[in-house]
C-alpha cells in the first residue's frame, strides 16, 4: 500500500493524524516544524519525537518530499529542474538567478487545459493536478532553496485551474507554522479565470499577474480560448472592484508577437483598458515553439512599444529572456516527451 | 479529486430549475433538459450543479435558441463529483443553472465544425438554431456509439457529416482518428472558419494540423472543456 504523504498538510490535518496514532497533541506542531522549517526529509530526522511515534508514522505515512530527477543548466545560469510526481508523471521548475535576486518558477499542474496558441505546456494537454505538497516540494527540494528571494507560479499549468491546492501551497509558504515567507515575495499568474481570481484576491496577500497578450477580444480568443468564457475586459473590470493597497502588485504579462499585438492601436487600447488601474505591464519576448505561426516582435519594436506605454502613464518593463537554450524560458516548459499517452477520445 | 476551473464558478448567480427530462442517449452519456428562461446565443455555456456543496461546472448548451427547453449534454466522469450525481437525477429534481454566457458563437458564414466526444454539443445548438447551412461537421469518437445525435446530423448535413471512429469500424464511418482524417485532406477550404470543440489535447492537435495546412489563425475558433 502506498504511504500517505504528510508534506503539504496543515497543522490541523496533522493534529488529526497524530491523534489517530495516539501521539501527543503537540507532535503535530513538531512535525510541521521539522518538515517546513528544518526541511527534514525522513521521520528519523525528527529527533524530538519519541522513537515509537516515529515508527508508527513510518508504518502508514511518508514525509513525501521528492528529489529532482534531472537538472539542466543554461549558459546564463538558469537551471531547469525535473521533478517526478506521485502519479509517475513529471513537472519542471525553473531557477533564475539574477544579481541579488533568485526566482523560482514553479508548476501547478502536469500539463495544462488552457490550450494557448503560443505555449509549449499547452501542447501536451492536461495530465493531472498537483497536490499542495508537490507544488511546495519544488521549493523545498531545490538545492538553491536558501538563496531564493521570489517565487512565481508561472511554470506548467494554470494555477487557478487548481485553486484549492494552490491556495494550500500559499498558506504553507506564508504561514508562521510553514516557511514564513512574505506573500509579497510570491506572484501567482493566471490567464484570468475570474471566479478563482476573485477567491485568490480575497484570500491571499500575494501578487497577481494576469496574462493579457492582446487587449482585443476577437484577437485574444484566437490566442487564448479562455477569452470565450472570461474576456480580458471583464477580468480588468473585476480587478477595479478591489483595493490592492500600496504593497500588493497587479501586473499584466504581454508576450510580444510580430504584427499581431505590437502596434500603436494595441497601445491605445491597453491604455484605455487599464486607465486608472494601478498596475504594471511586463513585456515578454516570444520564444517560438514548433507548429505555431507566431513570431516574436523585434527588440526595437518591443522597446518602442514599451516607450509608447510609458508615455501613456503605464509602468512597463521588458522581461529578460532567461534559459532559452535549455527550454526553460517563458512558455517553453513541457514534459510531453515523458507522457505515457492515454487513448484519446478523438 | 479534480475540481477544475469550473469548480470555482461559485459566484455566478445560479437559479433553481426543475428538471424536465434526463435521457441516456448512449452508454453513460446523457441529455438533461430544463425550461429555457433566458435567451442565449448558439455556442454559449451554462454553469450547472445539483446542490451548492458541489462546485458548478460549465456545459455547452446543445438545444436550439428558439426551443422551449434548454438542454445540455454530459458524460459521466467516474472520478468526478458532479456528473455521477447528475446522472441520478429524476424528473422535477432541482438543478442549479447560471444564465448562458460565452463567446464561442456560431454564425451563418461557411465553416467546418470539428468536435470530439461531447464537444458536439455547441454545434447541435447552432444547427438547431438555423446555422447549419454551409457547415461541415467532423466528429471524432472512440467507439461507434460515440456519435451522439447522428440521426439528426445525418438528416440535415448528409455528406457534410464525417464521423471518425478511432477504435471500431462501421458503415459510413472513417476508421481512424479525427486527426488522421484531417491530415489526409489535401485541400482545406482556407476561406472557411474552423470551429474546434473538445479536450485540450484535441484542440491543440487539430489546431496545429490546420495551421500546418495553411489555415490562418484568424479563422480558427476554439472551445476547450475547461
Name residues of chain A where pLDDT drops below 50. Answer: none
Beta carbons of B223 and A195 less than 8 Å apart: no
End-to-end alpha-carbon separation of chain A, Å? Answer: 35
CA distance linking residue B104 with residue B106, whole number of Å: 7
Pairing of strands B21-26, B57-60: unpaired
One domain for residues A296 and A237: yes
Residue of A228, A344, A345 with shortest CB distance to B223: A228
Please tell me whether residues A312 and A192 are part of one structural domain: yes
Predicted pLDDT at B11 = 53
Mutate to test the interface with A, among B103, B113, B146 (most CBs of A within 10 A): B103
The CATH number linked to A18 is 1.10.150.530
Q: Which candidate in A105, A119, A279, A330 is catalytic?
A: A330
Note whether residue A343 is domain-resident.
no
Q: Provide the ipTM.
A: 0.84
B199 contacts A346? CB cut-off 8 A: yes
Query: Considering A62, A90, A105, which residue would you say is the last residue of a domain?
Result: A62
Closest residue on chain A to B9 (Cα): A195
Dist CA B34 CA A268 (whole Å): 44
Instruction: Answer yes or no: is A27 within a domain.
Output: yes
Residues A170 and A191 in one domain: yes
Chain B CB within 8 Å of residue A345 CB: yes
Establish if A320 belongs to a structural domain. Answer: yes
- Whether pLDDT at B1 is above 50: no
Q: Does residue A137 sit in the same domain as residue A261? A: yes
Q: Is residue A150 part of a domain?
A: yes
Q: How close A194 gets to chain B, by Cα (Å)?
A: 8
Per-residue CA distances from B129 to A179, A189, B135, B158 (Å): 56, 38, 13, 18
Answer yes or no: is pLDDT of B193 > 90: yes
Same domain? A161 vs A291: yes
Name chain B contacts of A115, Cβ cutoff 8 Å: 200, 203-204, 207, 222, 224
Residue B7: what pLDDT? 42
* B212 half-sphere exposure, CB direction, 13 A CA radius: 14
Does A143 contact B at CB distance below 8 Å? no
Contact B192, B110 (CB under 8 A): yes
Domain check: are A18 and A78 in the same one?
no
With a pLDDT cut of 90, the percent of chain B lying above it is: 89
Same domain, A228 and A250: yes
Task: Name the nearest CA neighbour of B22 among B40, B48, B44, B52.
Answer: B48
pLDDT of A1 reads: 72
* Same-domain check for residues A217 and A315: yes
Q: What is the pLDDT of residues B2-14, one digit of tens each?
A: 333 444 445 568 9
Nearest CA in chain A to B196: A225
Q: pLDDT at position A340, please?
A: 64
Show the domains of chain B with their CATH numbers.
Answer: 5-97 (2.40.30.10), 111-224 (3.40.50.80)
Residue that terminates a domain, selected from A45, A62, A79: A62
Q: Taking CB atoms and an 8 Å limit, are A115 and B222 in contact across chains?
A: yes
CB contact under 8 A, B211 and A292: yes
Decide if A345 is inside a domain.
Answer: no
Residue B125 has pLDDT above 80, yes or no: yes
At B65 the pLDDT is 97
Residues in chain A within 8 Å Cβ distance of B103 = 217, 221, 227-229, 231
Mind giving me the DSSP string for A13-37? HHHHHHHHTT--TTHHHHHHIIIII
Band (pLDDT 50/70/90 cuts) for residue B101 is: very high
Cβ(A224)–Cβ(A300) under 8 Å?
no
Using a 10 angstrom Cβ sphere, with 0-12 exposed, 13-18 middle and 19 or more buried, the burial of residue A135 is: buried
Q: Which of B11, B217, B224 sits opposite A195 (nearest CB)?
A: B11
Residues A145 and A247 grouped into a single domain: yes
> Does A112 qualify as catalytic in the annotation?
no
Q: Check CB contact under 8 Å for A196 and B11.
A: no
CATH of the domain at A325: 3.20.20.70
State which residue of chain A sits closest to B217, comparing Cα positions. A222
The string of pLDDT tens digits covering residues B40-59 is 999 999 999 999 888 889 99
Which of A36, A62, A88 is a domain's end point? Answer: A62
Sheet holding B94-97, edge to edge: B15-18, B94-97, B45-49, B57-60
Interface residue A229 vs chain B (CB under 8 A): yes
Work out the average pLDDT over B70-74: 98
In which domain, by residue range, is A97 found? 70-338
Helix locations, chain B, DSSP H: 82-86, 121-126, 150-157, 178-183, 200-212
Closest residue to B117, CB basis, from A231, A294, A345: A345
SS (H, E, C) B171-196: CCEEECCHHHHHHCCCCCCCCCEEEE
Dihedral Cα A284, A287, A292, A298, nearest 10 deg:
70
Q: Are strands B15-18 and B94-97 parallel, antiparallel or unpaired?
A: antiparallel
Same domain, A240 and A143: yes
Is residue A190 a part of any domain in this protein? yes
B9, B58, B200 ranked by CB distance to A126: nearest? B200
**Contact criterion met (CB below 8 Å) for B157 and B115:** no
Residue B32's φ and ψ, nearest 5 degrees, are -110, 135
Residue B204 and residue A293: Cβ atoms within 8 Å?
A: no
Is residue A344 a part of any domain in this protein?
no
Lowest mean pLDDT among A22-31, A336-345, B98-107, B130-139: A336-345
pLDDT the model gives residue A156: 95
Q: Which three cell numbers stand for residue B122?
A: 455547441
Instruction: Please report the pLDDT score of residue B2 as a whole number.
Output: 34
Contact criterion met (CB < 8 Å) for B166 and A344: yes
Residues A199 and A87 in one domain: yes
Q: How many domains does chain A have?
A: 2
| Closest to B211 in 3D by CA, of B199, B200, B196 | B196
Compute the nearest-CA separation of A234 from chain B (Å): 12
Predicted local distance difference test score (pLDDT) of residue A214: 98
Does A160 share its domain with A41?
Answer: no
Active site residue A330: yes
Amino acid at each position: 500500500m502506498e504511504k500517505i504523504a504528510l508534506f503539504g498538510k496543515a497543522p490541523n490535518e496533522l493534529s488529526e493524524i497524530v491523534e489517530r496514532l495516539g501521539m501527543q497533541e503537540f507532535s503535530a506542531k513538531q512535525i510541521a516544524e521539522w518538515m517546513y522549517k528544518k526541511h527534514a526529509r525522513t521521520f528519523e530526522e525528527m529527533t524530538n519525537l519519541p522513537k515509537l511515534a516515529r515508527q508508527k508514522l513510518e508504518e502508514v505515512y511518508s514525509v513525501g518530499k521528492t528529489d529532482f530527477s534531472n537538472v539542466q543548466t543554461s549558459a546564463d545560469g538558469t537551471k531547469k529542474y525535473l521533478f517526478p510526481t506521485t502519479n509517475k508523471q513529471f513537472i519542471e521548475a525553473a531557477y533564475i538567478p539574477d544579481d541579488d535576486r533568485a526566482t523560482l518558477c514553479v508548476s501547478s499542474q502536469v500539463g495544462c487545459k488552457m490550450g494557448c496558441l503560443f505555449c509549449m505546456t499547452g501542447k501536451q494537454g492536461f495530465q493531472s493536478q498537483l497536490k499542495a505538497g508537490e507544488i511546495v516540494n519544488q521549493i523545498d527540494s531545490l538545492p538553491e532553496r536558501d538563496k531564493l528571494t521570489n517565487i512565481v507560479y508561472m511554470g506548467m499549468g494554470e494555477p487557478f485551474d487548481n485553486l484549492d491546492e494552490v491556495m494550500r501551497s500559499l498558506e504553507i509558504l506564508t504561514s508562521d507554522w510553514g516557511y514564513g515567507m512574505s506573500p509579497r515575495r510570491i506572484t501567482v499568474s493566471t490567464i484570468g479565470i475570474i471566479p478563482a481570481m476573485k477567491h485568490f484576491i480575497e484570500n491571499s496577500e500575494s501578487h497577481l499577474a494576469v496574462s493579457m497578450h492582446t487587449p482585443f477580444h476577437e484577437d485574444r480568443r484566437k490566442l487564448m480560448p479562455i477569452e470565450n468564457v472570461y474576456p480580458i475586459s471583464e477580468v480588468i473590470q473585476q480587478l477595479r472592484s478591489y483595493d490592492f493597497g500600496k504593497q500588493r502588485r497587479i501586473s499584466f504579462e504581454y508576450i510580444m508577437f510580430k504584427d499581431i499585438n505590437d502596434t500603436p492601436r494595441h497601445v491605445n487600447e491597453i491604455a484605455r483598458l487599464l486607465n486608472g488601474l494601478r498596475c504594471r505591464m511586463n513585456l515578454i519576448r516570444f520564444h517560438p515553439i514548433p507548429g505555431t505561426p507566431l513570431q516574436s516582435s523585434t527588440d526595437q519594436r518591443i522597446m518602442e512599444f514599451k516607450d509608447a506605454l510609458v508615455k501613456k502613464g503605464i509602468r512597463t518593463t521588458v522581461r529578460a529572456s532567461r534559459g532559452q537554450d535549455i527550454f526553460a524560458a517563458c512558455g517553453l516548459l513541457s514534459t510531453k516527451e515523458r507522457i505515457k499517452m492515454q487513448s484519446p477520445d478523438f | 479529486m479534480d475540481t477544475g476551473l469550473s469548480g470555482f464558478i461559485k459566484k455566478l448567480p445560479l437559479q433553481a430549475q426543475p428538471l424536465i427530462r434526463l435521457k441516456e442517449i448512449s452508454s453513460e452519456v446523457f441529455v438533461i433538459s430544463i425550461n429555457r428562461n433566458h435567451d442565449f446565443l448558439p455556442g454559449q455555456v451554462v454553469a450547472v450543479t445539483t446542490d451548492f456543496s458541489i462546485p458548478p461546472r460549465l456545459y455547452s448548451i446543445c438545444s436550439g435558441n428558439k426551443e422551449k427547453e434548454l438542454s445540455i449534454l454530459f458524460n459521466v466522469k467516474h472520478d468526478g463529483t458532479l456528473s455521477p450525481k447528475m446522472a441520478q437525477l429524476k424528473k422535477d429534481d432541482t438543478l442549479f443553472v447560471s444564465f448562458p454566457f460565452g463567446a464561442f458563437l456560431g454564425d451563418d458564414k461557411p465553416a467546418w465544425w470539428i468536435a470530439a466526444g461531447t464537444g458536439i454539443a455547441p454545434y447541435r445548438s447552432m444547427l438547431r438554431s438555423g446555422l447549419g447551412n454551409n457547415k461541415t461537421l467532423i466528429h471524432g469518437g472512440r467507439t461507434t456509439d460515440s456519435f451522439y445525435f447522428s440521426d439528426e446530423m445525418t438528416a440535415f448535413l448528409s455528406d457534410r457529416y464525417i464521423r471518425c471512429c478511432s477504435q471500431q469500424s462501421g458503415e459510413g464511418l472513417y476508421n481512424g482518428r479525427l486527426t488522421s482524417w484531417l491530415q489526409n485532406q489535401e485541400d482545406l477550404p482556407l476561406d472557411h472558419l474552423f470551429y474546434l470543440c473538445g479536450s485540450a489535447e484535441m484542440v491543440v492537435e487539430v489546431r496545429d494540423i490546420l495551421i500546418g495546412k495553411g489555415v490562418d489563425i484568424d479563422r480558427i475558433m476554439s472551445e476547450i472543456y475547461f
